Amino acid sequence: MRLSTYILRRIAMLIPVLLGVLILVFVIAYVIPADPARAWAGQRAREDQVEALRERYHLNDPVHIQIYHYLRNVILHFDLGVSPTTGRPVKDDLRAFFPATFELALFAFFLAIAMGIPLGVISALRRNKPTDHFSRVVALAGVSTPLFWSALILQFLFYFKLDLLPAMGRASVDITRYTGFLLLDSILNWNWTAFGDAALHMILPATTLAFYTMGYLVRITRGSMLEVLESEFVITAKAKGLPRRVVIYRHALKNAIIPPLTVLGVNFGWLLGGTVLLETIFAWPGMGRYAAGSIVMVDLPAVVGYTLVVAMVMLLSNLVVDILYSVIDPRVRIGGKRQ
Amino acid sequence: MTRSNGIFVSRARLIRKRLNPLLKEWGLTAYVLRHSMLAVIGTLIVFSFVFIAIFGTRLAPYNPTSTTIQERFQPPSGSHPFGTDKMGRDVMSRMLAGAQHSIKAGAIVLAIAVPIGVLLGGIAGLFGGWVDELLMRITDVFLAFPSLVLAMSFSAALGPSLFNAMIALSIVWWPMYARLVRGQALAVRETSYVEAARSRGASNWHIMFRHILPNCLSPILVTLTMDMGWVITAAAALSFLGFGAQPPMPEWGRMVSDGRIYMLSAWWVSVFPGLGIVLVVLGFNLLGDGIRDALDPKLRRLTEVKWSRKKISSSSKG
């Protein structure tokens, strides 16, 4: 199969899932709550406001008509309702908060890859040596520590006790925001103080967020590297007398890297989901904090809108990872069907 | 009389004959587990956690919910090993009493999610065709959300309580098991013994329960053990966000969240419950790793040789 055909097919396969995601969100938003209109208007809304909402979103109509209007609203206008807490359309709120979350998740994502995969490879190469034990302990700690707790501890240590890193908010320098991505904006402003400031603010939250994914990647990379190192083609390569470097980097690593790559898409989703906890603790002005803050106010539209956006980003990141993966490993395209 | 007795005897022998390889397998698994230091530590942690969950309320030196304002924010000391919180409640007593909520959350969520996932995955793998396609697209939809976010959304719609958080987590957790079992079912479906069973006229259900499910047991067991830790973390995370346990219930995640704003003046309120979660999750992870290694065919055959040698030598001594 040619690459372009493969990509088109993957995108086509995404459509039913996307539709399913929309319907699942509909069920959460309109079917499960005992009184959806009340849930959407907020607990403190007056009866006439609730009635207006019921009218606007066709909540008195049968379910199939509700679904029709809901899908129309979401697909055509991306209308996710109005948040009773902020009084603004959820769409606008999310658009304002999205860059902060995305920037943080992306930064943590690359951090996790940059640390997790090399550590896993080294661990496998030095099996049962102190380096291996060390990285296994780090990995185990990573997958065992709840994000909300490690965030608290790191904030306590590096901000309150040692005062080394900022741990509240995104920046202390004000700049013109073009994109909402602060690192990018500070470069666009040609303001290096702001860039350094934004990067410093990023370190603690991103490290905490990356910790779990890093641990997971170490474990997967180590396992797959160990397996490849014992496979016949590596033994053959060694027997041929090829230098160790060539055997490791050309033969082993190239194959061992595939299992960790396949889980990257899902991992990005986890990072995005983890921001709910993290942004609350680090006062990071992103979608996660917005959604978590809405919980106290029983603000269903905000939570639901956030869920939908996160699912869409996760589907897209899965798509991107799949495409990258098929570029690296042509067998995927020939194999056709995904398991 | 003798005849029926004879049948009875042979039946007992038959059962023993059937059970023997199974017992041998379990014996080997136990042997491998015993000889892995980390797995032993994991088992110890898990067992003490279960023990605390059962007897914690009785072990607690103070009442976990009664407040003594005069004793608020006492640092860790002899009378309060983990200190007291903003209401003067003993943190250690609350942790002892709260263990049951964590283990209940883990057990209930998996008890709902795993059978659903196993059944749907088995059906998808066994029947194939449009059934498989439909069921797998549904799991794809569920897997398109990060589990915590989807569970949060369900909790928000259901209303915040620990029970609803468990329901939400069960809804989120089954697709992974469906995927797992489906993969196994697809592999087993093509084997010659399933073909033989089919030619004998075995029904789909027979194949599912006698051939597919037994083959899925090991991977399910490993995933289940590790998931126990994850579900406990997820339930604690939901409580931390305010979805799960409501005050004054002593739930560990909620306790971390309640102590959060007092971190500077009274770190112990958040640190100890969090440490409890870390330990428990670590225990389940270590145990899961141990079980996986013990069930890994490659490692297993190696140790089996050692095991049988040891058995022979010990029996010859005796």
Q: What residue of A is the nearest CA neighbor of B281?
A: A144
How far apart CA A292 and CA A309 sit, in angstroms, is 15
- Single out the residue of A34, A59, A38, A58 nearest to residue A50, CA to CA: A38
Q: Check CB contact under 8 Å for A300 and B156.
A: yes
What's the confidence (pLDDT) of residue A260?
Answer: 86
DSSP-based three-state secondary structure for B90:
strand
The answer to whether the Cβ–Cβ distance between A273 and B141 falls below 8 Å is no
CATH assignment at residue B189? 1.10.3720.10
Tokens of B124: 């998808």
Residue B125: list chain A partners with CB under 8 A.
Answer: none
User: Which residues contact residue B196 at a Cβ distance below 8 angstroms, ignoring those fewer than 6 apart?
Assistant: none
Q: Which of B138, B149, B154 lies at the smallest CB-CB distance from A273?
A: B149
Quote the mean pLDDT of chain A: 83
Q: What's the CA gap between B256 and B91, in Å, rounded?
A: 11
pLDDT at A339 over 50: no
* Model confidence pLDDT, tens digit, residues A216-240: 999 999 988 988 888 888 888 888 8
Secondary structure, 3-state, chain A: CCHHHHHHHHHHHHHHHHHHHHHHHHHHHHHCCCCHHHHHHCCCCCHHHHHHHHHHCCCCCCHHHHHHHHHHHHHHHCCCCECCCCCCEHHHHHHHHHHHHHHHHHHHHHHHHHHHHHHHHHHHHCCCCHHHHHHHHHHHHHHHCCHHHHHHHHHHHHHHHCCCCCCCCCCCCCCCCCCCCHHHHHHHCCCHHHHHHHHHHHHHHHHHHHHHHHHHHHHHHHHHHHHHHCCHHHHHHHHCCCCHHHHHHHHHHHHHCHHHHHCHHHHHHHHHHHHHHHHHHHCCCCHHHHHHHHHHCCCHHHHHHHHHHHHHHHHHHHHHHHHHHHHHCCHHHHHCCCC
Partners of A82 in the β-ladder:
A89
CA distance B268 to A45: 40
pLDDT at B318: 41
Q: Tens digits of per-residue pLDDT, A206-216?
A: 999 999 899 99
* Mean pLDDT along residues A129-152: 89
Instruction: For residue B304, tell me if it sits in a domain.
Output: no
- A28 to chain B, closest Cα gap in Å: 6
A chain contacts of residue B239, beta-carbon cutoff 8 Å: none
Q: Is residue B202 part of a domain?
A: yes
Distance from CA of A338 to the nearest CA of B (A): 11
**What is the phi/psi pair of residue B72, to 5°?**
-70, 150
Question: Is B224 a member of any domain?
Answer: yes
Return the higher-pLDDT residue of A43 and A235. Answer: A235
User: In this complex, is the C-beta atom of B240 within 8 Å of any C-beta atom belonging to chain A?
Assistant: yes
Give pLDDT tens digits along chain B (318 positions): 445 455 566 777 777 777 777 777 777 777 777 777 888 888 999 999 999 988 888 888 888 887 777 878 888 887 888 888 888 888 888 888 888 888 888 999 999 999 999 999 999 988 888 999 899 889 989 988 888 888 888 888 888 888 888 999 999 999 989 988 998 888 888 888 888 888 888 888 888 888 888 888 888 888 898 889 889 999 999 888 888 788 778 888 888 888 888 888 888 888 999 999 999 999 999 998 888 887 776 666 666 666 666 666 666 554
Task: Provide the pLDDT for residue B114.
Answer: 93
Element (H, E) at B110: helix B91-127
* Contact assignment for A153 to B148 by CB distance below 8 Å: no
Assign A268 a pLDDT band (cuts: 50, 70, 90): confident
Read off the pLDDT of residues A256-265 as tens digits, 9 standing for 90 and up: 888 888 788 7
Within a domain: residue B308? no
Instruction: Please answer yes or no on whether A148 and B150 come within 8 Å at the CB atom.
Output: no
**Out of A20, A29, A280, whose CB is closest to B138?**
A20
**Shortest Cα distance, chain B CAs vs residue A84, angstroms:** 14
A163-167, A309-313, B141-145: which range is least confident on average?
Answer: A163-167
In a domain, residue B303? The reply is no
Cis peptide before A36 (omega within 30 of 0): no
The three-state secondary structure class of B84 is strand
- Could you tell me the CA-to-CA distances from A2 to A258, A306, A331, A332, A337 in Å, in that order? 20, 36, 12, 11, 15
Band (pLDDT 50/70/90 cuts) for residue A333 is: low
Please say whether the beta carbons of A94 and A80 come within 8 A.
yes
Number of Cβ atoms within 10 Å of the Cβ of A138: 17
Cβ contact (<8 Å) for B157 and A32? Answer: yes
- The predicted structure's pLDDT at residue A249: 82
Chain mean position to CA B246: 24
Contact residues on chain B for A141, CB-CB shorter than 8 A: 282
Residue numbers in A near B153 (CB within 8 A): 25, 28, 303-304, 307
Instruction: Determine the Cα–Cα distance for residues A283 and A198; give it in Å rounded to an integer.
Output: 14
User: Is residue B268 in some structural domain?
Assistant: yes
Tens of pLDDT, residues A54-67: 777 777 777 778 78
Note the pLDDT of residue A114: 93
CB contact under 8 A, B145 and A269: yes
**Chain A residues within an 8 Å CB radius of B143:** 266
DSSP state, residue B202: -
Q: Which residues of chain B does A306 touch, with a Cβ-Cβ cutoff of 8 Å?
A: 149
B228 touches chain A (CB under 8 A): no
Residue type, A257: I
Sole residue written with tokens 């898409």: A265
- DSSP β-bridge partners for residue A98: none
Of B153, B271, B278, the CB nearest to A144: B278
Which residue did the predictor score with more confidence, B247 or A142? A142
Question: Does some domain include residue B23?
Answer: no
Provide CB contacts within 8 A for B21, sequence distance 6+: none
Considering only CB atoms, B153 lies closest to which of A23, A28, A292, namely: A28
Residue A11's pLDDT is 86
How many beta-carbon contacts under 8 Å exist across A and B?
Answer: 139
Q: Are A334 and A2 in contact (CB under 8 A)?
A: no
What is the number of domains present in chain B? Answer: 1
Residue at B30 is within a domain: no
Token pair belonging to A226: 């160990």
All residues of chain B having their beta carbon less than 8 Å from the beta carbon of residue A17 are 137, 140-141, 144
Q: Is A146 in Cβ contact with B274 (below 8 Å)?
A: yes
pLDDT tens digit sequence for A146-163? 988 998 898 888 887 787
User: In terms of pLDDT, which residue wins out, A83 or A130?
Assistant: A130
Q: What is the pLDDT of residue A210?
A: 92
Q: How confident is the model at residue A318 (pLDDT cuts 50, 70, 90)?
A: confident
Range of the domain at B223: 48-64+96-287
Are the beta carbons of B157 and A21 separated by less than 8 Å?
no
